[in-house]
Every structure is written in C-alpha cells, then in structure tokens.
Amino acid sequence: MRFITVIAAKEIRTYFSSPMAYVVSAAFLAITGFFFVASVSDAFAEASIRGYLAGAVFFMIFMSPALTMRLIAEEQKLGTLELLLTSPLREFEIVVGKFLAAFVMILLMIVLSLYFVIVLFVYGDPDIGPLLSGLLGLALYAGATLAVGLFASSLSSNQIVGLVVGSGILTALTIIDFVSARLTGLVSQILDGFQLGASFSVFDLDSFGVAEGGHFADFAKGVISVTDIAYYLSLTAVFLLLTVLVLEARRWR
C-alpha cells in the first residue's frame, strides 16, 4: 500500500510539472462547457447536467488515453521500467499507483467543472438525484476509461501508440451498437451488454446520447443500477489486470 501511494504521488507531481494536465483540463472544460450550454440554452430547457455528462462521456474517449499514454510507455522508453521492475515492488503496485494518479487528476477536472452545477442552482431548480447519480456514474466511467488507457500505454514504448490503441478500444466499445443493431438474438444482446457509454447519438442534441443505450444512460436519468456499477468496475479491474500481465510478460520476454 505504501508503494502505491509513493508511485501515485510521484505521478501526480509529474502531471503538474508538465503542460499536459493544464492543456487537457482546459480542453475538458471547453468541451463539457459547450455541451452544457447547448443543453440549457433552448427555451424551456431542463435544468440538468445531462448535456455536461454527454460532453464528458464523449470527450473522455480521447482524454483518458491522453492522460494515461505517458504513464507506462515513457518508463519503457527511458528505461526506468527496468528500475521499477528491479525494485522491491510488485507489478500491481506499479499499475494501481499509476492508475490512481490519473484517477485523481480526472476527479480534479470533474471538480473544476462543477461550477456548471452552481450555475444550475442559481438560475434554475435542478433535481438533486440525477445530478448526484450522474456524477457517480461519471467517476466510474472515468475510472474504466483510464484503465483501458493505462493498458494501451503498457503495450509499447510509444505514447502515440498508447493514445491510438486506447481511444480505439474505447471508440469500439462506444459504437458497438452500430454492430449489435444489425444483429439479432443472443449475440446482439451480449454486444449490447458491452456498450460503454454514450453512443454516437451524442450528436443528437435532444437526447445527448446518454439517454439511451450503454451503461451510462441510467446514471444520467438518476437510476443507480448494480449492473452498471458492476460493468464499469469489472472493466476497470479487467484492464488493470491485463496491464499487470503485460508487465509480467515483459520479464519473460
């Protein structure tokens, strides 16, 4: 546990000492801000953060791998992975430490964006239930996307490869309904079960994507379901485990 904290603390410091964290936060605030404004500026618009959530869920497909792409790829490039793997650390401590650092960063960004909520309370009368469930869902979703990104980062010493592979996996999980809609029966249902978050109907400004399909929809509506929580937590766990396996395999190469 101590090693996990040490690694997480180091990575968080590194985030703040490079422009990455600032650039990504700015982009996150801009994109979610755009979605938020679009969703509340219609006449008789609903005082909810569904627009914001749709923006966040959409942008994290690219932002999460961008946050994690450096974490393991760079260690391989600098050769510092050899130091980590010859220190008395277990692979899972390295992986979990790095994951937590990225997760803290993304939570900080979400906190920064919470002024949208304040705006809602000032100018409207939002429903607190969907607001809280939406934020809980967003945190779970963020964790899952970061785990996928971290896994992608472990695959090579090239950060860009990490970004492309990570975003690729997340995009595939997002547009899985393109495939499942054209299939029938069990296969279609199984594929539907893997639907990550927003489908690309996110561009339909009426529903903001999160309203239908995917495991995020219920959170956005104010429903907290065990299935959705389990889906995001298992996705996180599976990809962190895969990352650990990739690091372990590195020893045997």
Q: Kindly state the smallest distance separating residue 159's Cβ from other proteins, in Å.
A: 14
Report the number of secondary-structure helices (H) and strands (E) in the chain: 12, 0
41 touches other proteins by CB under 8 A: no
Site for other proteins in 86-115 (CB under 8 A): 86-90
**What is the distance between the alpha carbons of residues 46 and 19, in angstroms, rounded to a whole number?**
36
Please say which residue, 7 or 63, places its beta carbon nearer to other proteins: 7
67's CB contacts (< 8 A; 6+ apart) are 15, 20, 24, 102, 105, 106, 146, 149
Asked if 23 touches other proteins (CB under 8 A), the answer is no
Residue 19 is a binding residue for other proteins (CB under 8 A):
no
Q: Which is nearer to other proteins, 44 or 252 (CB)?
A: 252
* Residue whose CB is less far from other proteins, 7 or 61: 7
Query: Residue holding tokens 């009426």?
Result: 206
- CA-to-CA distance for 28 and 38, rounded, in angstroms? 15
Nearest one of 236, 53, 221 to 146, comparing CA atoms:
236
Residue 194 phi/psi, 5-degree rounding, is: -90, -5
Q: How many residues bind other proteins (CB under 8 A)?
A: 24
From CA 136, how far away is CA 142, in angstroms rounded? Answer: 10
Rg (CA), the chain: 19
1 binds other proteins (CB under 8 A): no
Residue in 125, 185, 186, 252 binding other proteins, rule: CB under 8 A: 252
Q: Judged by CB under 8 A, which of 23, 30, 78, 111 binds other proteins? A: 78
**Smallest separation (angstroms) from other proteins to the CB of 10:** 5
Q: Does 14 bind other proteins (CB under 8 A)?
A: yes
The contact set with other proteins (CB under 8 A) reads 3, 6-7, 10, 13-14, 17-18, 78-90, 251-253
